[in-house]
């Protein structure tokens, strides 16, 4: 086990705002129980203005590791001692851990994003990303690793998407012209379709001759409206649960040195999501 900085520190948690829909406590507490580890994982709903206070608590309370989610993935970085190469490239962290008395920031989202694409990589040469935030930046790093060079970005926020495209050397397409686009892969990197939010839909239905593969990073619900419409049209689809499980599994390994059984975890989450 890697429960730094001292043997007595067995407290973990997720920090974000809001956290009503987070499944991280369910996953990690399930993992601690499966491995019979004396650890517990909590949810810390921290409003942005109180993030500096949380950074103090992180160093004074017996906290061994933290998952970081929106809107703190970028803003927490200045409060850390070290950043991994991956987190610097992405410009965001989702995992905090102790190493030799210092707090490190890592990003396991990239591992989760790429994992379900690897078996299909030979057929992906172009991609359209919906969204221009941290999740979209993770997608770009994944495309770089997969050597996908033909990339477009679109967002309902025109100025943000244009700035994102210029800053990353990719192409921008207006939201109201998406029906003219086609690519090997369509990725939804926005909260569109997430449980508890209004179901904003695309101005078009993905079709297999335009988007053979549709990947929605939203995992709750597992079957979003986007994926449902894409499947009905004949597209292949990937839901966000695989990414979520893989990134959480990597977090668990960083913190404890132990692995989580992927199939058992997926079954448990599927059952939880369908019953709630």
195 catalytic per annotation? no
4 pLDDT above the threshold of 80: no
Phi, psi of 252 (to 5 degrees): -60, -40
Query: What per-residue confidence (pLDDT) applies to 28?
Result: 97
Query: What per-residue confidence (pLDDT) applies to 185?
Result: 98
List Cα–Cα distances, 164 to 74, 136, 157, in angstroms: 15, 9, 11
pLDDT digits 0-9 by tens, 229-257: 999 999 999 999 989 999 999 999 999 99
219 pLDDT above the threshold of 90: no
Residue 188, both tokens: 């939804």
209 pLDDT above the threshold of 80: yes
Tell me how crowded residue 271 is: count the other CB atoms within 10 A of its CB. Answer: 10
266 pLDDT above the threshold of 90: no
- Please report, rounded to a whole number, the percentage of residues in the chain having pLDDT higher than 90: 78
51 pLDDT above the threshold of 80: yes
Which is more confidently placed, 89 or 6? 89
pLDDT digits 0-9 by tens, 5-50: 445 558 999 999 988 778 999 999 999 999 999 999 999 999 999 9
Tell me how crowded residue 184 is: count the other CB atoms within 10 A of its CB. Answer: 17
Go through 196-214 and write b for each residue having 16 or more CB atoms within 10 A of its CB, e for each that does not.
eeeeeebeeebeeebbbbb
Q: Are 116 and 110 in contact (CB under 8 A)?
A: no
Phi, psi of 94 (to 5 degrees): -130, 0
List Cα–Cα distances, 60 to 9, 37, 54, 64, 99, in angstroms: 11, 22, 10, 11, 16
Query: What per-residue confidence (pLDDT) applies to 1?
Result: 42
Q: Are 269 and 241 in contact (CB under 8 A)?
A: yes
Q: How far is CA 218 from the centre of its chain?
A: 9
List 9, 73, 158, 160, catalytic entry: 73
Domains of the chain by range and CATH? 11-107 (3.40.50.10860), 111-241 (3.40.50.720)
pLDDT band at 124 (very low <50, low <70, confident <90, very high): very high
List Cα–Cα distances, 151 to 13, 197, 227, in angstroms: 35, 28, 21
Which is more confidently placed, 202 or 31? 31
């Amino acid at each position: 086990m890697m429960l730094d900085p001292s043997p007595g520190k067995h407290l973990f948690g997720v920090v974000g705002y809001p956290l009503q829909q987070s499944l991280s406590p369910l996953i990690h507490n399930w993992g601690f129980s499966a491995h019979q580890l004396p650890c517990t994982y909590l949810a810390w709903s921290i409003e942005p203005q109180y993030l500096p206070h949380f950074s103090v608590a992180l160093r004074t309370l017996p906290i061994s590791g933290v998952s970081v989610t929106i809107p703190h993935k970028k803003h927490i970085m200045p409060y850390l001692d070290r950043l991994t190469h991956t987190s610097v490239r992405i410009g965001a962290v989702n995992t905090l851990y102790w190493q030799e008395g210092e707090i490190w920031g890592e990003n396991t989202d990239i591992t989760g994003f790429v994992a379900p694409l690897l078996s299909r990589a030979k057929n992906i040469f172009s991609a359209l990303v919906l969204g221009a935030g941290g999740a979209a930046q993770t997608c770009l790093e994944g495309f770089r690793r997969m050597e996908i060079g033909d990339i477009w970005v679109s967002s309902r926020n025109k100025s943000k998407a244009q700035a994102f495209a210029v800053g990353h050397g990719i192409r921008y397409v207006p939201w109201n012209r998406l029906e003219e686009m086609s690519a090997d892969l369509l990725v939804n990197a926005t909260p569109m379709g997430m449980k508890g939010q209004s179901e904003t839909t695309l101005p078009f239905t993905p079709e297999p001759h335009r988007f053979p593969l549709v990947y929605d990073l939203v995992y709750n619900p597992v079957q979003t409206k986007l994926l449902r419409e894409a499947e009905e049209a004949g597209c292949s689809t990937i839901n966000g649960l695989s990414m979520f499980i893989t990134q959480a599994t990597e977090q668990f390994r960083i913190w404890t040195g132990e692995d989580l059984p992927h199939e058992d975890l997926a079954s448990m989450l599927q059952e939880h999501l369908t019953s709630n």
